[in-house]
Amino acid sequence: MKAFYSYHSGLSTLENAKARLNIPGLWRHFGFPGEPKVSCKSPFREDQHPSFSVNADGTLWHDFATGEAGDAVDFFQRASGLSHKDACRKFIELAGGNIKPTARTDRTQPQSADAKPKPVFPNFTKGTAADFKRLASLRNIGREGLEFASEHRLLWFASLKDFPAWIVTDSARVNAQARRMDGRQWEHVGAKAWTLPGAWAAWPIGIAESKPFPAIAVCEGGPDFLAAHYLALWEQASHNTKLDVQCAPVAMLGASQRIHPDALPMFAGKRVRIFGHDDEDGRAAVERWARQLEVVGADVDAFNFAGLRQWDAKPVKDLNDSLLMDATSFAEAGRMLP
């Protein structure tokens, strides 16, 4: 059972078009008044006070008044009124002209003009041997995978609300989510996962760290994120040396989130496999993230857990569950990471 959903759709062609045509070029093409910049008036509606923004490299836009946002293709679709499919086709045709885009910058940190202030998180610490042992038992994840995530500075520990906790965050330090080491809910939020105050919940954890890797595993939630680190070693590292790992786990901390627009360009040209939970919200998240990623030129598919079973006959619902698959399911699933 090769359980994958494919999202291939001529993505490299679209990405090439976006490299030639950006939002300032489209602004001129449609004859909109004014100039696209960090603070300007919306070209799509009456705007008495500037409430529209185009980032410095002309690749992203945001309308503060309506909440609309997107990249150059989304801008073209909004301006033209075409369907997404037709807008992509017309955009590619238009990009064959002589419109010269401004240079794009390489970013590893979020820089949106509309971004919230960078949060200030509590002090996190590196895990002790006892921390890794306890977390490995709690999540049924091999300790090697946890240590691998820690080495990439993606897994941390702290005492929060008087409880020992494990935290996933990354070098951007704009998003962090904590879970209790006893596996119980945080009483103040009524959930096991607590996104820390001020966090940019849509920022994908680990995206900056994925830059040297040709492939990305987009995971739903912290436990799957850690499980992917273990799988990366199990499936890809020769003799567990970690030198042969080609896939970087990246976490979206919540199925309701959309990938932050500043992070999307960092997926461009990558081989991406999405691991959403096998439930209604997870399947909706897979569709949403895949649509976002295909626009920036990622080569996307998604893993389908349907039909896979754990050793106790319970269904495999997510990547963390997959570490407990029975022999038949293990054989059917084959290699899971891209």
Whole-number Å distance between alpha carbons of 38 and 53: 5
- The predicted pLDDT at position 242 comes to 63
Length of the chain: 338
pLDDT in tens, the chain (338 residues): 234 554 443 444 777 788 888 999 899 888 888 899 999 999 988 888 889 999 988 999 998 888 888 899 999 999 888 888 788 888 888 887 433 333 344 555 666 545 568 899 999 999 999 999 999 999 999 999 999 999 999 999 999 999 999 999 999 999 999 999 999 999 999 999 999 999 999 999 999 999 999 999 999 999 999 999 999 988 877 655 666 788 999 999 999 999 998 899 999 989 999 999 999 999 999 999 998 998 888 899 999 998 999 999 999 999 999 999 999 998 988 889 98
pLDDT value at position 100?
A: 36
Domain positions in the chain: 22-94, 129-333
pLDDT at 162: 95
Determine the CATH number of domain 22-94: 3.90.580.10
Q: Assess contact for 263 and 253: CB atoms under 8 A.
A: no
- 1-10: per-residue pLDDT in tens? 234 554 443 4
Q: Report the 10 Å Cβ neighbour count for 312.
A: 7
pLDDT of residue 240: 55
32, 165, 248, 259, 276 from 252: Cα distances, Å: 36, 19, 13, 8, 10
Q: What is the pLDDT of residue 3?
A: 41
129-333 under CATH 3.30.70.260, yes or no:
no
